[in-house]
Structure 1
Amino acid sequence: MTRLLPEWFVERINPVPDEDDLPVSTLELFFDLIFVFTVAQFTAIIAHDPLIGLLQTVLMFGFLWWMYAGYSWLTNVIPPERPARRILLLIAMAGWLVIALTIPAAFHGGGGIWIAVGLLVVVLVHGLMYLQAARAFGAVFIANLAAVASVFAAEIGPEGLWRYVFWGLASAIVWSVPIWHGQRGLRLHPAHITERHGLVVIVALGESVVAIGIGAAGLPIDADLLVAAVLGLAIGACMWWSLFVHDLPATEHALTTTMDAVKRVRKVLAGLSYAFIPVLIGILVTAAGLKKAVGHATEPLDLPASLLLSGGVALFLLGTAGLRFSMPLPGPWQRVALAAAVLVAAPLGLVNTALQLGAIVIVLVAGLEIERRVARSALKPALSE
């Protein structure tokens, strides 16, 4: 397939030799901001209709996250250091912007076909660039194109069940790839791939703060607003702490010490691709809950809003448990137990919003402190030796 590409194209994006230290470029950070705008569109969908919105989010996010992760892999092996590569990434960013703007119309209304056009641009740029680094990517490229065809079928067809089926098919196609593709011929830099996935979580957590601001628009500055806002920020801080203080540094170490390239790729797939789906959707769900909670700290929440708050945080924690299982890192079941404890706090929102928010913060702080003490106790015998 690469023989069909123009010679000038191959020469300009030919991958550089392997490097131990591959820093994340500012263009990649710019790229992440465009993608998170794409992700942020789902918060409004979930907040508008928690049940149907969450179903639509899961179906669309499955394919979109696969392609974002694909771009983090792409720049991992082909750094955007040359003008041609940068231009191609900017073209891909335009595709992501089209996708983001058309997400609200994907399941109803006109204009949904443009999301398929945006995805086609994103998939073509990604595939043509990646083929220069790994011939083994050809089969994956074909699967990605098949998934785009499924999205075109969804958007050309009638609204309703038809679109749900074909969006689900698109996600199923791409996420089946690791089952039949042996991952041979793919190589990744541990520090870079870990940092890229961490950065998109950081920016997504920033989206939860933006949700607080959106929820506060036009409201009076009083205890109802400020208490819910500060507690919402505290929840976001605990989510950050749970992932970034120990889990991601340990993940980078686990990947670095995995010498076999295929095993390393499979760990990235399981821990940073699959497990990060609940991590990111959990942030979106939490942001949707915070949007409803801000300005109503002294009032009760309705059941959907209280479930969004606790369910989003719990989903995030389950994703971090999946990361720990896949690396493997110690304490995955601690995160499962912590997620269950957060869910128990959901009924408190039916009594008082601040009560539920405060309970979630207390549960998270207590759980993270217990984790810290358990980890320190486990280190003592090793240090004494």
Structure 2
Amino acid sequence: MRYSAEVNGDARGARFRLERMLPRDPDEPHRTASSLELFFDLVFVVAVSIASAQLHEQLRDGNVQGGIVTYLMVFFAIWWAWMNFSWFATSFDTDDWLYRVVTIVQMSGVLVLAAGIGPVYESGDLRLLVVAYVVMRVAMIAQWLRAAASGRVHRRTALTYAVGIASVQVLWALFLLVPVGGLRLVGFAALVVVELAVPVIAERQALTPWHPHHITERYSAFTLIVLGETVLASAGAVISALDVVETLLPLIGIAALTLVSAASMWWIYFWPPHHRAIGSLAQSLRYGYVHYFVLAAAAAFSVGIELQIDVLTGATRASDRDASFAVAIPIAVFLMGIWWVAIRICADRVVNVVVPLAAIVVLVDALLLPSSVLVTCATLVAVVVVLVMRDPVARTVRS
């Protein structure tokens, strides 16, 4: 009995024992996203969904410029916090109890951030949004300090991250003192540049060992969730309009075009082997940063579909052309973004002409045929057909 008690006591003690936060092997076989990372993504999608819904309300009420600018600001806070955690986790994930607790603290910050999105759209009140953002980033500082204390090789890099992130959070707190107006937009843009500069400076000390397959899987998972949320939001809008329209045929058409377009976007995104895009620091930064536009566009796609339904039911001040552009612009940005960071480097000449050309056709479609997204959907399908006929080409990635 005594031996059994000692063994049980050792086992209980092991559960609370912390591991050294040493770098993960970038060549580790079968490295996949953990259940905690997937849970983390789902919480973030709550904020993405609210941001998209608020953008829809703004566009529906005719506040196009203000709605888009606010959406881009809010989405930056969501995306940047998600991206920083993902790149940290690919290099230093220990999955012990403290790592999990700190990650859950970050998740709590996301939920507070989601609650603060409405006031930003309604009155430009950024207080709750900034507070939630700082909570997430302070948790990230704790992770980097733990990594710095665990090993020598990346200590300087980890400390640079911690100091850089902490310094920017002080600036965000001071940013709340800036009055609403053009000066606030300038200040926000300046702080975004400073945030983006932190990884550039830190990684020059010693590159953190990111896992190419793991990090690209993380981006792929988040893209899937965002596309799924887009389909869900669009389906909800279609269902809500069932009792308003006189005939179901237009709604059925919009629903079908939405599904085919979302499926085409999925096909296009997953055509290239993304891990080939992760190599040097410049390549990895490009892949990570340009995904802001890819993910923001994917999340905004549903807004265009909802606006199309609003025009159909007469529930908006927006015109047919406004609704068409609300579909076309996100798709065009999505196409150009994923082409730039992943498709371009492993595609032949045909694909590298077709994808950018498709983005142009989508925009021209919205300009010339403002009452329909049929050509836009057909263009996406045409791109998919070309990709099916052309295999990715193995190439050496260039910066």
TM-score of the superposition, structure 2-length normalised?
A: 0.80
SS for the counterpart of 1:275 is: helix
Residue type at the aligned position of 1:74: F
The alpha carbon displacement at 1:324 in A equals 3.0
* Pair 1:154 & 2:163 matched: no
1:286 aligns with 2:298: no
* Counterpart residue number, 2:51: 42
Correspondent of 2:161 among 115, 121, 140: 140
Residue 328 of structure 2 aligns to a residue in which SS?
helix
CA distance in 2, matches of 1:309, 1:151: 33
In the alignment, which of 273, 279, 289 is matched to residue 274 of structure 1?
A: 289
| Bigger shift: residues 41-50 or 235-244 | 41-50
Residue number in structure 1 paired with 2:340: 322
Structure 2 spans left out of the alignment, 5+ residues = 1-15, 148-153, 395-399
Measured after TM superposition, the shift of residue 325 of structure 1 is 6.9
1:2-25 superposed Cα distances (whole Å, 9 cap, x missing partner): xxxxxxx99456236523332211
Are positions 1:58 and 2:72 aligned together? yes
Which AA in structure 2 matches 1:88? V
- Kindly report which structure 2 residues correspond to 1:1-385, keeping only aligned pairs within 5 A, or say none: 11-12=18-19, 14-15=21-22, 17-18=24-25, 19-47=28-56, 48=58, 49-79=63-93, 81-106=95-120, 109=123, 112-133=126-147, 134-135=154-155, 136-181=157-202, 182=204, 184-220=206-242, 222-244=248-270, 246-247=271-272, 250-253=273-276, 255=278, 258=279, 263=280, 265-271=281-287, 273-294=288-309, 301-324=319-342, 330=348, 331-347=351-367, 349-350=369-370, 352=371, 356-375=372-391
Q: Distance in 1 between matches of 2:48 and 2:119?
A: 14
Do the aligned partners of residues 117 and 254 (structure 1) sit closer, same or farther apart at CA in structure 2, a change above 3 Å counting?
Answer: closer
Residues 111, 125 of structure 1: alpha-carbon distance in 2 compared, 3 angstrom cutoff:
same
Q: Indicate conservation of the 8 Å contact 1:95/1:122, yes or no.
A: yes
The SS at the match of 2:373 is: helix
Residues 302 and 349 in structure 1, CA contact (< 8 A), matched pair in contact too: no
Amino acid at match of 2:259: L
Q: Which moved more, 1:211-220 or 1:225-234?
A: 211-220
Structure 2 CA distance for partners of 1:158 and 1:329, relative to 1, 3 Å: same
Contact 2:161 2:199 in 1 (8 A): no
Question: CA separation of 1:228/1:52 partners in 2, compared to 1, >3 Å: closer, same or farther?
Answer: same
Percentage of pairs with the same residue: 24
Root-mean-square deviation over aligned CA pairs: 2.8
User: Could you say what secondary structure the match of 2:179 adopts?
Assistant: coil
- The structure having more radius of gyration, on CA atoms, is 2
* Mapped partners of 2:366, 2:386: distance in 1: 22
CA contact (8 A) 2:33 2:214 kept: yes
Once residues 230 and 184 of structure 1 are traced to their aligned partners in structure 2, the CA distance between those partners, rounded to angstroms, is 49
Answer whether contact 2:324 2:373 (CA < 8 A) is retained. Answer: no
Q: 1:12 to 1:146 in 2, by over 3 A?
A: same
Q: Tell me how far 1:103 sits from its aligned partner.
A: 1.8
Whether the 8 Å CA contact 1:251–1:327 is kept in 2: the answer is no
- Residue 363 of structure 1 aligns to a residue whose secondary structure is helix
Secondary structure of the equivalent of 1:185? coil
* Rounded Cα–Cα distance in structure 2 between residues aligned with 1:123 and 1:152: 12
Q: Are the equivalent residues in 1 in contact too, given 2:261–2:381 (CA < 8 A)?
A: no
CA contact (8 A) 1:45 1:54 kept: no
Q: Which runs of 5+ in 1 are unaligned?
A: 1-8, 380-385
Structure 1 residues 80, 206: closer, same or farther in 2, change over 3 A? farther
The alpha carbon displacement at 1:363 in A equals 0.8
Residues 144, 161 of structure 2: 8 Å contact kept: no
SS of 2:209's equivalent in the other structure is coil
Indicate conservation of the 8 Å contact 1:212/1:291, yes or no: yes
Q: For 2:379 and 2:86, locate their aligned partners in 1 and report how far apart those are by CA, in whole Å.
A: 34
* 1:28-76 residue CA offsets vs partner (Å, 9 max, x unmatched): 1111011122222221333213322211222343343222111101221
The AA in structure 2 aligned to 1:129 is Q
Q: In 2 relative to 1, CA 374–111 (structure 1 residues): closer, same or farther, beyond 3 Å? A: closer
What is the rounded CA distance, in whole Å, between the counterparts of 1:150 and 1:306 in structure 2? Answer: 39
Q: 1:189 to 1:17 in 2, by over 3 A?
A: closer
- Does structure 2 conserve the Cα–Cα contact (< 8 Å) formed by 1:147 and 1:171? no
Task: Note if contact 1:73-1:188 (Cα within 8 Å) is conserved in structure 2.
Answer: yes
Q: How far 1:295 moved relative to its partner?
A: 6.5
**Amino acid corresponding to residue 186 of structure 2 in structure 1:** V
